Amino acid sequence: MYDIPVSRPSTDQLMARYDGDVPGASLLVLKDGEPVVRRGYGRSDLERGIEAGPATNYRLASVTKQFTAAAILLLAQDGTLDLDDPLRQWLPSLPPATDGITLHQVLSHTSGLIDYEDVIPENMTAQLHDADVLRILEGQDRTYFEPGSSYRYSNSGYALLAVIVERASGQDFPAFLRERIFRPLGMHDTLAYVQGGPEVPNRAFGYSRIDGDWTRTDQSQTSAVLGDGGIYSSIDDLAQWDAALYDDRLLSDESRRLAFSAVTPTDDPAVEYGYGWRITGDSLWHSGETMGFRNVIVRWPQQRLTVILLSNRNDPEPYRTALEIAAPWLEE
């Protein structure tokens, strides 16, 4: 009886909750640079009955942070800024309490910056933008801890990094990403979405389960903040991003080493943090959660394996599913 093999659920079984007439997902598994799984499940738009597929674009939420970090690293490669620059060198309107913060600490969530979501003024009722985050933090002359002394995940920090990209480059953040990252890598449908700007092609709309029904919950007050979570992309475009992380076509060897190196422990003893990447053993990953979207990218560079799971629903959390999907290839 002990010799009976335990059967592993198939990929389609693991993804079954996304399938059918429900908010769905797109899944990509890359092995040695080639897609071994590439497909959609369920619907990207329930109201119009549009199926999710490899070209469906989802709001990445915090998966965006690796692109914001890459933008800063590109500017450092250019010599336009230095990762040890004081934050107030670029944003002098911030209060004196932020004096000791460097760009390195902002990238690694060791800045101690106040969470803007917790201190939004009552008179700010419209959608916020990255510049609004700066204005909010201008009124917060305090930090959670001495910069560099601890870890606290900070959407505030990455919103401020987007503002710095604009000031250092002379371009707006969406244009910088488009010209320096997306176009060079052939990520033609990926963009930092701004209302009134280019529309998102093949757009997935976000949904949440409320009182047993799927309800469209696509936008919140913070959905227009770009640096911490405003990029839309597809699994097909993210395959191009993944490929670029193996060589110096975009980021130099040193920049990639910095991004992928553990700077600090996090509040999870199994996880450390680099620049826009969580690090667990030999894997690099990041999840993203915002109103109506749950996403994850997990990379095992030594095994040349990547799993990307993007979904337009508030549940379930996809990280564990991605690990289960990856297991057969990791065991080869």
Helix (H, G, I), strand (E, B) or coil at 250: coil
Helix (H) / strand (E) element for 236: namely helix 235-244
* Per-residue CA distances from 97 to 86, 112, 141, 313 (Å): 12, 10, 5, 39
pLDDT at 1: 40
Marked catalytic residue, from 62, 154, 223, 234: 62
* Per-residue CA distances from 232 to 63, 206, 254, 274, 279 (Å): 10, 12, 27, 22, 23
pLDDT at 6: 53
Task: Give yes or no for a contact between 266 and 273, defined as CB atoms under 8 angstroms apart.
Answer: yes
Q: How far apart are the first and last CA of the chain?
A: 25
Per-run averaged pLDDT (10 residues), the chain, 332 residues: 62 97 98 98 98 98 98 98 98 98 98 97 93 98 98 98 98 98 98 93 97 94 94 98 98 98 97 98 97 97 98 97 97 84
pLDDT at 79: 98
Amino acid at 43: R
The yes-or-no answer on residue 62 being catalytic is yes
d(CA 199, CA 193): 7
Amino acid at 288: G
pLDDT at 167: 98
> Could you count the other beta carbons within 10 Å of the beta carbon of residue 237?
22
